[in-house]
Amino acid sequence: MRTTLRLTAAAAVLALAACATPSARKTNTVYSDDGLSEIVAPEAWRTRPNIARSASLRLGDDADGIYLLVNTYLPHEVREPSFEAFAESLSRRLMNHLGDGRISAPRRFALNGRPAVEYEVAGKSGALPLVYLSTVVDGERARHHLVTWSVAERYGSSRSTMREVAATFRESAEPRPEKKRIDVVFNWPERLTSTASVRTKSNKRGEIIEMQARAVTTVRPLGEDELLISGKLTDKRFVPSTKDKEKANYLERVLREATADIPDYVVDRDGDFVRIENLAPYLKRLEEALVNGLPEGPKEARAKARELVRSIVSEDMLNASLQDEWNNTVGNWAGGSYVPGETYEMHLSYQSPLLGDSTFPMAVTQQLAGREACRRGAAPNSCVRLVQTSRVSDPRYTRATTAFVRKTIGAEVTVDSAEVMKTVEVLADPKTLLPYRSVVKETKRFVVSAKGEAPRTSEETHESFTTYSYP
């Protein structure tokens, strides 16, 4: 995201390899949204709608950490008449946006019969060292700036792939109709107070917990580059559906602590999640609620229960939970540019703090599904409907879940399969990314086997429905 062979086995493998014909890597032709150009990219590369809104082509290979974009300049958009001066100007502009920026000497060559110039540009984006290949092509109809990049530590192994893909770029034989895109921009005001109506419903192996509440969110600046977002839940009503009254009371106490004095979090001016504030008191209060409500027992058992609670209700878990909530509603969409109705596929990583530091493959799709009024009485197309789906279903995730179950239950239980499916639908103003409605549906499904018992399917679901209002 090593096995040692016996000598005889290795020899057999080498003999077979010598007779085999390497299979060609699968590729796709990707067409630019402006209808003017195209490129042949490996099958794993996907259009990334949330990088470089102005680019006509935007591709990424998340597994290998390589990204590519193409900006096209029509004749009336070009200031420098000299192609080489134009290529150097674009490449130096890229360098100037980096910390400790450096640029190589130009490499001149022909790309599909057209003059091209390549510069290697290195520097830091924040604290992250990156290396770019900045390639400018003098096409028949326009000039095109191809930018490919990776983190510096992987650049040596990625450069040949970056150049191979860039070498397939060409102007299309016949221009195609331009695909109109809608930009989605994070532009929250520096100071804001909003209210929301929240309804949630969780079903864990037949035990249902419902909650209704009113949420008040405030936003204020934190320095020049960040926003502090604070939330408070009021008018809370919990409905735990269990016949065990003591358990119902315990669940309600824990939920009240979990929804009281929620930690603040910080985002930057691009809509990226940065960190959580004032987390320690919240963690302590939640831990005490979880442990104190348990039945009395031996000191050793209580100490073990506290240790387990600390491993589950950790700083990493809460940070991941709040970051996921923010990204689903706002962060994953910030800075994107979407063709309405088009589905964008990505392969990202999923991490569950309960399962340690491991990450697991996650298939994600995004779609700007349409436009509608933000609220009753608003302009008909004032908001966009954004839909994101994700699915985690990987043998490593299943094995990690088995290890966690055995650690917590202490029994010979095996998880035969495990998957997490989630759909998030957001109605938001594309000019600000202020949400007006969000609907989240998540399902976790497990097939579990125990000694002497037939496998059984266990399912957990969580739904939330939130409507937001602003002054």
**Residue 197: closest CA among 181, 208, 211, 176:** 211
- The whole-number pLDDT of residue 237 equals 86
Rounded CA separation 119/179 (Å): 30
Distances (CA, A) of 415 to 28, 140, 447: 37, 59, 6
Find out whether 322 and 276 touch, Cβ atoms under 8 Å. yes
- 352 vs 18, residue with greater confidence: 352
Residue type, 258: A
Q: Per-residue pLDDT for 23 more than 80? A: no
Highest mean pLDDT among 46-55, 285-294, 419-428: 419-428
- Using an 8 Å Cβ cutoff, are 362 and 349 in contact? yes
Residues 6+ apart with CB under 8 A from 160: none
Per-residue pLDDT band at 22 (split at 50, 70, 90): very low
Q: Tell me: pLDDT of 242 over 90.
A: no
**What average pLDDT does the segment 449-471 reach?**
91
- For the cut 70, the answer to whether the pLDDT of residue 3 exceeds it is no
Which range is least confidently modeled, 72-81, 130-139, 334-343? 72-81
Domains of the chain: 24-179 (3.40.1000.10), 192-469 (no CATH)
Angle between helices 245-258 and 280-292 (to 10 degrees): 180
pLDDT of residue 302: 60
42 pLDDT band, cuts 50/70/90, is very high
Instruction: Give residue 428's pLDDT.
Output: 98
Spatial neighbors of 75 by CB under 8 A, at least 6 apart, are: 142
What is the number of alpha carbons within 13 Å of residue 47 lying toward its C-beta? Answer: 23
Answer yes or no: is pLDDT of 89 > 90: yes
Task: Give CA–CA dist 287/128, Å, rounded.
Answer: 36
Which pLDDT band holds residue 251 (cuts at 50, 70, 90)?
confident
Rg (CA), the chain: 26
Is-contact 317 354, C-beta < 8 A? Answer: yes
Query: Dihedrals φ, ψ of 152, to 5°?
Result: -60, -40
Average pLDDT over residues 132-145: 97
Q: What is the DSSP string of 238-283?
A: EEEE-S-HHHHHHHHHHHHHHTSSPPPEEEETTS-EEEE-S-HHHH
So what's the pLDDT on residue 20? Answer: 38
φ, ψ dihedrals at 277, nearest 5°: -105, 165
Where residue 193 falls among pLDDT bands split at 50, 70, 90? very high
Q: How far apart, in Å, are the Cα atoms of 393 and each of 223, 407, 419, 463? A: 41, 21, 5, 20
Query: How much is the mean pLDDT over the chain?
Result: 87
The pLDDT confidence band at residue 47, using thresholds 50, 70 and 90, is very high
Distance CA 207, CA 450 (A): 22
| Lookup result for tokens 């650690």 | 407
In tens, the pLDDT along 437-454 reads 999 999 999 999 988 788
Name which of 37-46, 64-73, 166-175, 254-263 the model is least confident about.
Answer: 254-263
Q: Letter for the amino acid at 103? A: I
**Cα→Cα distances 468→148, 187, 195, 316, 372, Å:** 39, 17, 6, 28, 15
Here the tokens at position 169 are 């770029």
Residue 8 has pLDDT above 70, yes or no: no
Instruction: Name the pLDDT band for 1 (thresholds 50, 70, 90).
Output: very low
**Bridge pairing between strands 360-372 and 343-350:** antiparallel
36: which 2 tokens?
């003017």
Q: For 149-182, what is each residue's pLDDT tens digit?
A: 999 999 999 999 999 999 999 999 999 999 999 9
Q: Which two tokens stand for residue 66?
A: 């390589």
Q: What is the pLDDT of residue 12?
A: 31
Residue carrying structure tokens 């399962």: 355
Give Cβ neighbours of residue 342 (< 8 Å, ≥ 6 apart). 179, 367, 368
Q: How many residues does the chain have?
A: 471
pLDDT for 68 equals: 97
pLDDT higher than threshold 70 for residue 106: yes
Range list of H helices, 364-430: 395-409
Structure token digits, residue 308: 């387990």
Residue 345 CB contacts under 8 Å (≥ 6 apart), including other chains: 46, 363, 364, 365
Asked whether the predicted pLDDT for residue 291 surpasses 80, the reply is no
